[in-house]
Chains A and B, each alone.
Chain A
């Protein structure tokens, strides 16, 4: 293990949890993935925890699995609520892309180096905050009428970038006018 990175190691119910210093996270994860004998080549999930006790820091939790060795590992970093930022592991596991977007959407934790850090569950113009934080009221911050108004004014077609649509593969084969329309974010017009 990298000296100085490990803060605490807990073994509970046969599962290993390691706490890592946030500034050493990327280094540790690289080591965990690439070192022979570790080879945690599968990122199962990324999530976060906020505790009711305001004094306790937020935790970002990474579930790792070494598929060949059949071993699980849980890596946690603790983040102070004043500075919710941690390095993205997107460079190591591409699957971290949407997982980190979800953590950003729900908790407001930003991931440095993430290629496309946008909201993923809520729409992109959602203005009420981060729903899974403890200071977020269950029904949201706005009145129902305001929520309905803002939802109706959101563009339902703006959630996906062109790369995420399967049509991106066939981009070169599309007719020119269709390509133009897609570039403008338009889905075609209804003939009169």
Chain B
């Protein structure tokens, strides 16, 4: 079922007018409910988790945005917040947590290390968790201040409110590309993992 995006344009001419109105109403109700009651699954591995805790604590208090209950089980979580660097040893762990979360689910990559590998351009570190799980919002910073994370959460609200219940793509579980379990092609992973900044003088020996 294709969603009519701008219903005003076709008002009065399209036979789908009522249907579109109805869809928009349903989307509004569902998305408001989802966006205003996001249960985060904190995946804190490093110093970003300290800022995450500050965001959860009384001064910044993301419970104001409907994140009152932190779900320490992926089964009850809506948004996975990866706060901190992700070593390769944790890659299968975050992938499994993501797979265990029920749809609809979103991912926030908090901080430079989770987003790009940050300063840890070495043998042990995943160069951006988007090589492991799909990411909706990247929050830059090292670590980001609580305001930064809150802004990321609000951006995620905005994204959720723009989604449509009638878009089947959103409900489809992401399948790995092949039996290797990668979600991006090897060439893409190599490309996004390339060195940047002041580390360009280093070379891979083989």
Which A residues form the contact surface with B (CB < 8 A)? 121-123, 128, 131, 136-141, 143-156
Contact = CB atoms under 8 A, between A and B. Distances in A.
A138 B122 CA distance: 5
* A-B pairs with lowest CB-CB distance, top 3: A145-B186, A140-B123, A144-B193
Interface stretch (B22-30, B141-149, B197-205): B197-205
Contacts of A150: 88
Interface string B84-112: 00001111110110000000000000000
B127 A138 contact: no
Contacts of B93: 156
A139 B121 contact: yes
Contacts of B122: 138-140
Interface size band for B: 20 to 34
Nearest to B93: A156
B123 A156 contact: no
Contacts of B13: none
Interface of B: 88-93, 95-96, 121-124, 126-127, 131-132, 180-182, 185-187, 189-190, 193, 195, 202-206
27 contacts: A121-B89, A128-B123, A131-B123, A131-B124, A136-B123, A137-B123, A138-B122, A138-B202, A141-B204, A141-B206, A143-B190, A144-B193, A145-B187, A145-B189, A146-B186, A148-B91, A148-B131, A148-B132, A149-B180, A151-B88, A151-B91, A152-B91, A152-B180, A153-B180, A156-B90, A156-B92, A156-B96
A148 B89 contact: no
A122 B90 CA distance: 10
Contacts of A122: 89, 124
A139 B202 contact: yes
A152 B95 contact: yes
A151 B124 CA distance: 10
Decide if the interface of chain B is mainly helix, strand, loop or mixed.
loop
A131 B88 CA distance: 14
Contacts of A156: 89-90, 92-93, 96
A149 B206 CA distance: 17
Given A137-B203, A139-B204, A123 B121 contact: no
Nearest to A154: B92
A46 to B, nearest CB: 21
Contact of A151 (B92, B202, B205, B206): B92
A155 B92 CA distance: 7
Contacts of B205: 137, 141
Contacts of B204: 137, 139-141, 143
Contacts of B203: 137
Contacts of B190: 143-145
A138 B125 CA distance: 11
Contacts of A146: 186
A139 to B, nearest CB: 5
B181 A153 contact: yes
Most buried by A among B96, B187, B204: B204
Given A139-B204, A148-B131, 9 more contacts: A122-B124, A137-B205, A139-B121, A139-B195, A141-B206, A144-B127, A145-B187, A147-B123, A156-B92
Nearest to B91: A151
Most buried by B among A128, A138, A146, A154: A138
A114 B124 CA distance: 26
Contacts of A149: 180-182, 186
